[in-house]
Structures are given as structure tokens and as C-alpha cells.
Amino acid sequence: TLTYTELDAASNQLARLLIAEGIGPERIVALALPKSADMIVAILAVLKTGAAYLPIDPHYPTSRKEFMLHDAAPALIITTSHLHTTLNTPTTPILNLDTPTTTQRLATQHTTPVTDHDRLTPLHPHHPAYLIYTSGTTGTPKAVIVPHTGTANLTTTQAHRLTINDHSRILQQASPSFDATVMELLMSLTTGATLVVPEHTPLAGEELEQAITTHKITHALIPPTVLSTL
């Protein structure tokens, strides 16, 4: 469990470490991480540097992961020592979050907010915020680059129409590589709600029902095919 203060501090430290590695606006950072608190910290950290993040679902087939990494050509990949071995990217710099060296480097970074004064260049609303690849069902998967512009309107609309507040509990159900993840993040972290990241995924049937009940979930984005399993 992380409080908002702890989440902010951890993402600020990682953001400062990334900036020291040359990460900033108009750069791409791939996140090959499972759904976890580390994934949320990493997303926020990349955004704070001004760079765009590319989520890579570890459960995707190797060929698809390799295609996305080759096509996007990220400046850096954030992953773990275990998942590092599943990525065939010999020329791309990799930051393993779970190594003693990374842990020590993070501990030396300031936890204060990251501003344009800290970034390599100023962040503009039209800079890319993230990349999401289409499913590829009609051909080769294509990268969709989404800028920061528009996320404020989406967030405000979701909070209003879905009646989300600081007592709400949002289920992080979507795959990291599915842009519904962005909606789940916006609905929770910008409203003071609680984002619940289940340990075992994907969830359906009894496991989904148990997660919703156990964690007192108030809001969830569930595809019709999954909803039919309840």
C-alpha cells in the first residue's frame, strides 16, 4: 500500500534518476513491467520527466514485444531482472528496478517535485504522453501517440459522470498495453481515489468477483465478455 505522499516521492526519485540518464520531452521510455505498484510509479516518473511511456505487457508473445520495441525505438527500457531475460533488445539501455545498484541510486535522489527547472527541456502540453499499439487485427499493429492535451478534459468528465471522489476505489483491471489503463489511472489518481492493483491477473469469473468484494471496489472498467463471466 502506498499513500499519495509516498507515491509522489517514489516517482519523483525515479524521474530524477531518468533525467540523469538523458530522459526528457519527446523521448520514449518502454515499461516492461507487470501490473504492480512499481508500474504505477514508473508511469508517473516517466511523465514527470516529460517523456512518453510505452507500456509492454510481459504476458504478450515474444514476437509482439520485439516488434513494439523495434518499431518504437525507445531511449530506455524499465523492467526487472527476471523480465530482462525475456526482452531481445541488445542495443537498448535497460534499467532494472530490482537491482541493488538501482535501489542505491534511487535512495540518493531528492523526493521534491520535478519541474521544468529540473527537466532537460520544458514540457509542453502538446508533447507526447504515451504510446499505445493497436491490436493488429486488421494488419500490422500501429503506434498511436497521445499528447498531454485532452487528458484534463477526460479526467474531469470521468470524475463527474461516474461520481468519483476520494472515497472511491478503482480496479486496475486492464492490461498495461491497453489504453483503458490510462482511464483507470486518470479516474483514480487525479481524484484522490484509491487505485487497487490486483496481484493475479487477468481476472474473470469468481476471481474477479472475489477481487471486487474483497477490495470493496466501487468502479471498474470491464469488457462485456469478461462481465458475462460474473
Span 27-73, pLDDT tens digits: 999 999 988 899 999 999 999 999 999 999 888 888 888 888 999 99
Domains of the chain: 4-147 (3.40.50.980), 151-227 (3.40.50.980)
In a 10 Å sphere around its CB, with 0-12 CB exposed, 13-18 middle and 19+ buried, how is residue 39 labelled? buried
What's the confidence (pLDDT) of residue 34? 86
By DSSP bridging, strand 128-133 and strand 143-147 are: antiparallel
What's the confidence (pLDDT) of residue 201? 67
Distance, C-alpha 201 to centroid of its chain: 16
What's the confidence (pLDDT) of residue 81? 82
**Cα gap 35→58, rounded to integer Å:** 9
Instruction: For residues 197-207, give the mean pLDDT.
Output: 83
Instruction: For residues 60-89, give the mean pLDDT.
Output: 86
Judged against a pLDDT cut of 80, whether residue 200 lies above it is answered with no
List, in order, residues 6 or more apart from 108 with CB less than 8 Å away.
Answer: none
pLDDT, the chain, mean: 91
Nearest CA among 89, 78, 69, 85 for reference residue 17 = 78
Instruction: For residues 128-144, give the mean pLDDT.
Output: 85
- Do 144 and 132 contact (CB within 8 A), yes or no? yes
